[in-house]
Structure 1
Amino acid sequence: MNNEQIGDALKKLSGTLRDGEKGFADAAEKAEAADLKSMFSSLSQERASLASDLEPLTRQYGETPREGGSVGAALHRGWLNVRDALTGSDDYAVVAEAERGEDVAKGNYEEVLKDELPADVRSVVEAQYAKIKASHDKVRDLKHTMEAARNK
């Protein structure tokens, strides 16, 4: 990969992290259970920290990190707000939406990691991917636990 491609990949991850930051903040607001509010708030803060950690590397490769998320994510959140206003949402629905967002984040990191990356970039992206995967798995497992409880 050339520097421009590396910068583009890092900018994409930066946007992914900002999307997660906003998505988890929204989830924290919508969740009813205090433990969910706390978990989502913590994950939002983690995503903000990861995005900040990625900024110097993104600049090093000639790109300006995204301060906001992607247009697609903003549109998705807007649609969810409309849906929630019409149908209401419960904690299970909030967790299910968080899992969908985590699927996208995990996929974006996996896509970038398929490329030939310089060692400094790869080490940062792999370390962040480990955190993304851990939160993905936590949210996925929580959704499955909630699903099982609902189906009893």
Structure 2
Amino acid sequence: MSQQRAKFASELTQRASQYGLSIQNDNTVEGLLTDAAAAVHHGWINLKSAITGQNDSAILGECETGDSVALKAYETALQSTNLPTEAKSLIEQQHSQVLQAKNWVTQQKGNVRH
């Protein structure tokens, strides 16, 4: 999943660049796309650093938190009416995959024995 999220971040950055969009401004759709990319990647980087010495529930909690933050950024970006069709399609696809992963993580977290 970490590799998938890094790929998502790269795809979003490339798409923004393809349209000549600045990704530096947090108040723009472009900034929101960057936030989504950063959130998915950052969540999984945090997970990698948290693995040592953590129990299964804590690790899954890190995954769940990272995905929740990412989903909010995706959902905010999807509310924009200024998205090019191709970009919106990419964001919807990534959102769906992040949501599926979060649901899987939540299910696994419920199965962990304390």
> Which interval holds the TM-score relative to the shorter structure?
0.5 to 0.7
Q: What fraction of aligned residue pairs are identical, expressed as a percent? A: 26
**In 1, are the aligned partners of 2:16 and 2:22 still within 8 Å (CA)?**
yes
For residue 125 of structure 1, what is the amino acid of its counterpart?
Answer: I
Larger radius of gyration: 1
Cα drift, residue 138 of structure 1: 1.1
**In 1, are the aligned partners of 2:71 and 2:98 still within 8 Å (CA)?**
yes
Q: TM-score, normalised by structure 2?
A: 0.67
Gaps of at least 5 residues in structure 2 are 25-33
Higher relative contact order (CA 8 A, sep 6+): 1
Pairs within 5 Å for 1:43-122: 43-59=1-17, 60-63=19-22, 69=38, 77=46, 88-116=53-81, 117-122=83-88
**In 1, are the aligned partners of 2:9 and 2:38 still within 8 Å (CA)?**
no
Question: Closer, same or farther in 2 for the Cα pair 1:103/1:142, shift >3 Å?
Answer: same
Gaps of at least 5 residues in structure 1 are 1-42
1:145 to 100, 105, 111: 111
- RMSD (CA atoms): 2.9
Structure 1 moving runs of 4+ over 4 Å:
none
